Amino acid sequence: MQRIGMVANLEKPRVRETALEIIDYLERRQVQVLISHRKAAALGCPAKGVAEDAVITAQVLLALGGDGTLLRAARLVAPTGTPILGINLGHLGFLTEIELAELYPALDKLLAGAYRVEERMMLQGAVQRAEQVLSCTALNDIVITKGAFSRMLRLEVYIDTAYLDTYPADGLIVSSPTGSTAYSLSAGGPLVSPQLQVMILTPICPHTLYARPLVVPGEQTIKVCVHAPGAEVMLTVDGQQGLHLRDGDVIKVTRAGTPTRLIRLQNNTFFSLVREKLKEGGSRQDDENPAPAVNPEADSRHAHSHPGSAG
């Protein structure tokens, strides 16, 4: 492996230090690390920066941070299908593969090719208006929701050309199987194995007793017509990108043409991950101070400089 890209959330604890250590670790193994000009400047090594378009040409992309960082990475490499290895320096880490303490053995496995690639379905969304069509791609979900002081919305929903219902609700979540453990779960949606090619339609606080989440085949199209005159309505993509919607807008969501490809180094299953992560519930005491990665080269250098150290 000759070229590895990197995206990093430098606002999280230890990410800046870890990113610099990874760059040094990989360059010592004759691996070129591709990082954007902006991130390279923020890390204090502007000479290492490349254009963002070049970052996604890497053979593998490292995502340093939490699930949010990996979601951004997934949208970034959606056109190329570059495999992503998520390194968790955040909270629960449903999508990220390794914890910080496992970093260097994991990098060695990566360089040796001892990994598998797991494909995750993505969503393709489009907002249709009389004068324009706006498009987006999401790994987790595409959400229509009302503003803080808006009245409830009326959302007219079709599956392909078949009318489903008009929901009086605070909003509507269209989720992928990967996103079934995110906002959709909080709104009462089902857990769905990421091996399935389906979309989950979950109303947010529906003002009807019969409204329930619905699972739809991925090859179909969910169409939502927004009826909200004078109301503030937002479309959010993976909880990270936003667009103000207008009364009469039509949102179409279907399966994207290319999946996200996640690198897996461990033998964890989706079901063991759900059991472990949901039990943790975001209450880990070490979230803000993750255990440091053990760099064998750094340890070696440290031991030589302190000959009296144990071991």
67 annotated active-site: yes
Looking at the chain, which residues constitute the CATH 2.60.200.30 domain(s)? 123-255
pLDDT at 300 over 60: no
DSSP H helical ranges for 79-187: 103-112, 183-186
pLDDT confidence band for 75 (50 / 70 / 90):
very high
Which residue among the candidates 67, 141, 249, 287 is catalytic per the annotation?
67
With a CB cutoff of 8 Å and minimum separation 6, the contacts of 145 are 170, 171, 172, 204, 233, 234, 236
What is the per-residue pLDDT for 291? 62
Helix (H) or strand (E) run with residue 296 in it: helix 296-305
Region 115-144: mean pLDDT is 94
142 with 123: CB under 8 angstroms?
yes
Helix (H) or strand (E) run with residue 157 in it: strand 153-159
What is the per-residue pLDDT for 91? 73
Superfamily of chain region 3-120+259-305: Probable inorganic polyphosphate/atp-NAD kinase; domain 1 (3.40.50.10330)
CATH number for the segment(s) 123-255: 2.60.200.30
pLDDT at 301 over 60: no
Region 116-128: mean pLDDT is 96
Q: How far apart are CA 108 and CA 135, in angstroms?
A: 38
153 with 170: CB under 8 angstroms?
yes
pLDDT at 285 over 50: no
172 with 156: CB under 8 angstroms?
no
| Encoded tokens for 113 | 């090719």
- Give the range with max mean pLDDT: 123-127, 205-209, 296-300, 305-309: 123-127
With a CB cutoff of 8 Å and minimum separation 6, the contacts of 224 are 144, 155, 156, 157, 158, 172, 174, 250, 251, 252, 253
- Per residue in 155-198, pLDDT tens? 999 999 999 999 999 999 999 999 999 999 999 999 999 999 99
93 with 290: CB under 8 angstroms?
no
pLDDT at 241 over 80: yes
Looking at the chain, which residues constitute the CATH 3.40.50.10330 domain(s)? 3-120+259-305
| Encoded tokens for 233 | 């309505």
